[in-house]
Amino acid sequence: MINIQSIKAYSDNYIWLITTNEGNLVIDPGESQPVINYLQKHTLTLTDILITHHHFDHVGGVLDLKKNILGNVTGPLNHQIEGLDNHVTHGMEIESCGLKFEVIEIPGHTLDHIAYFLNDSDQPRLFCGDTLFSGGCGRVFEGTHDQMYESLEKLQKLPSNTLVYSAHEYTLANLEFAGQVEQDNQDISEYIHLCQQKIKDGLPTLPSSLEIEHRINPFMRCADSHLRQAIAENMKNSKTATDAEIFSYLREWKDSF
């Protein structure tokens, strides 16, 4: 049995809590108190913590939560992150609460950014921090556009039914931009209505899936001829540009949107 619950933190962060018969783990606890409150309410004990990158809104609760943890704190190869017991790099496999996660290095947003891929053949799941959002991608703070593009390409290659657990509720804002990029993309219009209803009902818009993102996320559609045609008026070489150049153009556009 596996149950995945979102715990809200700050204004729009999601801390993902994964519960199995063998324990409970959280991913990117930027705050400790929301996690403590949830664990106490449901009489759960925290086993492990997984970290995707060093930004404070993803690690701020680690030291407090670690006081009562049963297991370990695992994160990227960045010794400036306080409280880490295990440092992991690309291709490594870690076990927690009876689950096996593959580590995927995805620099761009930060240089130390990693994702955790739970490769269950029936329902694969991706915990990707601030690299891939529904309808968008993270800002490029420490890396380069090329690095971010290559990181998204790694994620593109995962099974299309992979559920995507991003770390922020940015979906509607991202879809507003996506709708500007591809104004005749009906999938985007329909997904906006679906997500608006979820928000109205007090539900997260996440998880998404790679299948959905391939249809509505401009940053995952850089090779798509319809997207290239849609931006042809503004990007004169859109039909002949490389996919990485399309990505860079879109990311710069989004930065000022």
**Residues catalogued as catalytic:** 53, 55, 57-58, 109, 130, 168
Per the omega criterion (within 30 degrees of 0), is the bond before 159 cis? no
DSSP 168: B
- Any idea of the CA torsion for 221, 172, 115, 36, to the nearest 10 degrees? -170
**Token digits for 248?**
């860079």
What is the C-alpha to C-alpha distance for residues 214 and 182, in angstroms, rounded to an integer? 13
Q: Which of 254, 248, 257, 250 is nearest to 227 (CA)?
A: 250
Q: b or e along 192-223 (b: 16 or more beta carbons within 10 Å of the residue's beta carbon)?
A: beebeeeeeeeebbbbbbbebbebbbbbbbbe
Question: How many other CB atoms sit within 10 Å of the CB of residue 105?
Answer: 18
What is the C-alpha to C-alpha distance for residues 47 and 95, in angstroms, rounded to an integer? 12
SS3 172: helix
**Token digits for 34?**
């929301």
Q: Are 127 and 50 in contact (CB under 8 A)?
A: yes
Question: How many other CB atoms sit within 10 Å of the CB of residue 35?
Answer: 23
Q: Are 252 and 218 in contact (CB under 8 A)?
A: no
